[in-house]
């Protein structure tokens, strides 16, 4: 899309477009909500990227991605990387320390998906802390496409003007907000895969983060780069001040919360749907560093100001407090005293805080609308619960239909019956759903790829041998070293189950080194190469076999690390791959057999052991057709993909023989038809 055209779509795609408009030379990252799409789009657009000369890399972890930005230390190349924060920023933090200390010549932008609040899948922490720690500037644009795009472009300039990496923090809502902006032409980078550098950068000791250069770099951060950043932010008016008639009070808000704030002010009757506000707002599209002059200018004439800042600790509020005290401004400062300290700042939370703030400092302002707003919220809630007739049962996420990881936990349940229940160190990935019903397996999670490492001190003190579960994603991300190499170095005992489903599945089935398209044995090869002496590979759907192998690992006399590679391709991805092939076959009129499972409702005993060993959404209950039996029977519904686990479970656990396997034949051959005729003829006899 070129100059003057209108881009319509999601926030995160607008960021992608803005990177190309900024002449980025390379892009990398690691997948994770809410920014997976950025990298997925780049990887899928590889041809076009080659045309522009942009190098795209899908990194094995965020540390690699951050280290990749090192190219901009020595060369005037713009680079961008993306990941989920806080977890990704954690993993990247060592490389970021070194990057920000050395400083950059080309603009370096980190697009961090801030996964905070009640939709988050990770530990609740703030990226802000890392920005402060390493003196990296933090952009937090208000969720609106033109603002986001401008902050990407200005972010590169800011990075270059101050020699510091810049973080663009996008919350879930900012990533997924829809809108439009006027596009400009993409810029081919000056140094790129199409315009190669002839010679390496001249040796420059001051670009190395190594003493004594580090001592000078630390001074540069405080004395040169920080003031330069403040000047740039002020000169380009990156923060926005929205005046309002209630000049005695004001709100200082993180850009990312601006939409919520406006919605809350609307609820109070103090703002219009178009954003005109009666309460003055200072919208911080840059939350680090703050510009003291801007803060003082906003606060000096007011009697009270509230800082709206999500998460804890309250970095911005404390910073503002220092600025006001040093600048001699006497505005009364509020923030976390009126708003909750932790948790997401939804509109309702903001309305409650603003009501307290305005009652105290603008008592004559009519905010009766707030009462109406609260009561309307309350009445909707009451109505909903009246209709539902009680609390809804929680619906935690779970394994997909046919997921190849479910059978492993079914087998583990069976093995535990005999060998005793082990301590299970679990990991990040789909397999962590085993912590929910019906398995409730997994005692702790310590981060992506960290399960085996987290059992290092459990293992020696347990009467029964503990178990660690790790996905192939976690294996390549971190687990190979933090877990496996460490256990080998310490000659420790233990059992590790590697779930090899072939992809980084939980983040959107991105490829791994060991993905099936490479028909790869690299996990086995690496383990054997490093010296693991006990390795077994099992087919997950063979529950009995898996249980036997698990039991063997849990009870064998072999001392040392025992690794079971539990093999079974991600069913979602398999179905995605097979579906077009099947459609093609059917279109061509070729024979196709589809396997489905079912429950014979006359045989079903109704004790539902089969469900407790599976939890498959396609295996559920229905009313018994037998008028003499009041308990419901098990049934397999339409979603079944024919993985066969229910039957396997029934067999391995010797449950009732009610499962049957059916083959649905489409485009039957003559032979099939003949069989069918024969069956129809014979069976009634």
Which is closer to other proteins, CB of 249 or CB of 307? 307
Binding mask 315-334 for other proteins (x = CB under 8 A): x-xxx-xx-xxx------x-
Characterize the bridge pairing of strands 281-284 and 240-242. antiparallel
CB of residue 557 vs other proteins: minimum separation in angstroms?
Answer: 17
Asked if residue 432 binds other proteins (CB under 8 A), the reply is yes
Of 551-580, binders to other proteins (CB under 8 A) are none
| Partners of 179 in beta bridges | 9
Choose one: 124-132, 236-244, 264-272, 278-286; the region binding other proteins (CB under 8 A). 124-132
DSSP state of 459: G
Binding footprint of other proteins, residue count (CB under 8 A): 152
Out of 211, 390, 589, 627, name the contact with other proteins by CB under 8 A: 211
Binding mask 74-113 for other proteins (x = CB under 8 A): xx-x-x------xx--xx-xxxxxxx-xx-----------
Out of 84, 221, 278, 500, name the contact with other proteins by CB under 8 A: 221
Binding mask 444-483 for other proteins (x = CB under 8 A): xxxxx-x--xxxxxx-xxxxx-x---------xxx-xxxx
DSSP string of 354-390, one letter each residue: HHHHHHHH-TTS--HHHHHHHHHHHHHHHHHHHHHTS
Out of 271, 527, 616, 653, name the contact with other proteins by CB under 8 A: 527
Q: SS3 for 55?
A: strand
State how far the Cα of 51 lies from the Cα of 273, in Å rounded to an integer.
43
State how far the Cα of 621 lies from the Cα of 606, in Å rounded to an integer.
9
Task: Pick the closest to residue 362 from 491, 530, 496, 246 (CA basis).
Answer: 246
Please classify residue 651 by burial: count the beta carbons closer than 10 Å to its beta carbon, then call 0-12 exposed, 13-18 middle and 19+ buried: middle
Which is closer to other proteins, CB of 216 or CB of 591? 216
Asked if residue 509 binds other proteins (CB under 8 A), the reply is no
DSSP string of 106-155, one letter each residue: S-EEEEEEE--STT--S----THHHHHHHT-EEE---SSHHHHHHHHHHH
Which is closer to other proteins, CB of 27 or CB of 238? 27
For residue 632, what are its two tokens?
A: 């419901």
Asked if residue 38 binds other proteins (CB under 8 A), the reply is no
| Partners of 306 in beta bridges | 251, 334
For residue 474, what are its two tokens?
A: 């976690």
Asked if residue 376 binds other proteins (CB under 8 A), the reply is no
Q: Largest Cα–Cα distance of the chain, in whole Å?
A: 100
Asked if residue 138 binds other proteins (CB under 8 A), the reply is no
CB of residue 447 vs other proteins: minimum separation in angstroms?
Answer: 4
CB of residue 489 vs other proteins: minimum separation in angstroms?
Answer: 5
Binding mask 241-280 for other proteins (x = CB under 8 A): ----------------------------------------
Which is closer to other proteins, CB of 1 or CB of 45? 45
Asked if residue 205 binds other proteins (CB under 8 A), the reply is yes
Q: SS3 for 332?
A: strand
Choose one: 50-58, 361-369, 579-587, 647-655; the region binding other proteins (CB under 8 A). 50-58
DSSP string of 262-313, one letter each residue: HHHHHHTT-B-TTS-BSS-EEEESEEES--HHHHHHHHTT-SEEEEE--SSS
Q: Which residues contact 26 (CB under 8 A, 6 or more apart)?
A: 54, 55, 56, 57, 68, 71, 77, 79, 80
Which is closer to other proteins, CB of 511 or CB of 545? 511
Out of 35, 42, 49, 68, name the contact with other proteins by CB under 8 A: 68
């Amino acid at each position: 899309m070129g100059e003057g055209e209108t881009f319509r779509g999601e926030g995160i795609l607008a960021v992608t477009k803005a990177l190309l408009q900024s002449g980025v030379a390379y892009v990398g990252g690691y997948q994770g909500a809410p920014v997976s799409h950025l990298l997925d789009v780049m990887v899928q657009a590889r041809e076009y990227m080659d045309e522009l000369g942009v190098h795209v890399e899908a990194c094995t972890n965020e540390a690699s991605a951050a280290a990749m930005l090192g190219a901009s230390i020595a060369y005037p190349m713009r680079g961008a990387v993306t990941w989920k924060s806080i977890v990704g920023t954690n993993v990247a933090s060592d490389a970021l320390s070194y990057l920000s200390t050395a400083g950059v010549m080309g603009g370096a932008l980190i697009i961090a998906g801030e996964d905070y609040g009640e939709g988050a899948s990770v530990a609740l922490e703030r990226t802000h802390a890392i920005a402060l720690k390493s003196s990296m500037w933090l952009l937090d644009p208000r969720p609106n496409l033109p603002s986001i795009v401008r902050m990407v472009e200005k972010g590169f300039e800011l990075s270059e003007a101050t020699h510091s990496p810049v973080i663009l923090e996008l919350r879930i809502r900012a990533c997924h907000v829809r809108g439009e902006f006027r596009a400009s032409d993409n810029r081919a980078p000056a140094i790129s895969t199409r315009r190669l550098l002839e010679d390496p950068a001249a040796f420059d000791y001051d670009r190395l983060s190594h003493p004594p250069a580090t001592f000078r770099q630390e001074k540069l951060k405080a004395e040169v780069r920080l003031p330069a950043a403040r000047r740039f932010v002020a000169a380009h008016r990156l923060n926005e001040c929205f005046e309002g008639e209630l000049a005695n009070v004001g709100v200082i808000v993180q850009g990312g919360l601006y939409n919520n704030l406006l919605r809350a002010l609307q609820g109070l009757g103090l703002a219009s749907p178009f954003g005109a506000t009666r309460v003055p707002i200072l919208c911080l599209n840059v939350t680090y560093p703050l510009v003291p002059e801007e803060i003082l200018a906003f606060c000096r004439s007011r009697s009270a100001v509230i800082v709206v800042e999500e998460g804890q600790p309250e970095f911005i509020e404390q910073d503002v407090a220092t600025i006001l005290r040093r600048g001699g401004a006497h505005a009364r400062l509020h923030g976390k005293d009126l708003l909750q300290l932790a948790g997401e700042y939804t509109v309702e939370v903001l309305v409650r805080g603003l009501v307290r703030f305005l009652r105290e400092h603008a008592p004559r302002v009519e905010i009766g609308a707030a009462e109406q707003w609260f009561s309307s919220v309350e009445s909707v809630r009451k109505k909903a619960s009246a209709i539902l007739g009680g609390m809804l049962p929680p619906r935690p996420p779970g394994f997909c239909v046919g997921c190849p990881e479910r059978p492993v936990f079914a087998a583990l349940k069976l093995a535990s019956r005999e060998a005793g229940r082990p301590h299970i160190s679990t990991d990040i990935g789909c397999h962590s759903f085993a912590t929910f019903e019906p398995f409730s397996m997994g005692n702790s999670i310590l981060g992506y790829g960290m399960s085996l490492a987290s059992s290092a001190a459990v293992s020696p003190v347990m009467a029964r041998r503990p178990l660690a579960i790790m996905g192939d994603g976690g294996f390549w991300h971190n687990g190979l070293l933090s877990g496996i190499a460490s256990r080998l170095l310490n000659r420790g005992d233990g059992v590790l189950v590697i779930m090899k489903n072939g992809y980084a599945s939980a983040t959107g089935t991105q490829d791994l080194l060991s993905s099936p398209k490479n028909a790869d044995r690299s996990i086995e090869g690496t383990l054997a190469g490093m010296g693991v002496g006990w390795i077994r590979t099992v087919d997950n759907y063979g529950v009995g076999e898996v249980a036997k192998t698990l039991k063997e690992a849990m009870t064998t006399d072999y001392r040392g690390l025992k690794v079971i590679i539990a093999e079974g391709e991600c069913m979602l991805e398999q179905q995605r791959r097979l579906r077009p092939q099947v459609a093609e076959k059917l279109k061509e009129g070729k024979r196709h057999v589809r396997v489905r499972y079912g429950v014979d409702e006359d045989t079903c005993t109704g004790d539902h052991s089969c469900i407790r060993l599976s939890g498959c959404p396609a295996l559920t209950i229905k009313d018994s057709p037998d008028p003499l039996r009041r308990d419901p029977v098990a049934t397999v519904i339409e979603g079944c993909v024919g993985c066969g686990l229910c039957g396997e479970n029934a067999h391995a656990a010797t449950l009732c023989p009610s499962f049957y396997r059916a083959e649905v034949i489409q485009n039957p051959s003559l032979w099939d038809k003949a069989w069918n005729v024969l069956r129809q003829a014979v069976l009634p006899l």
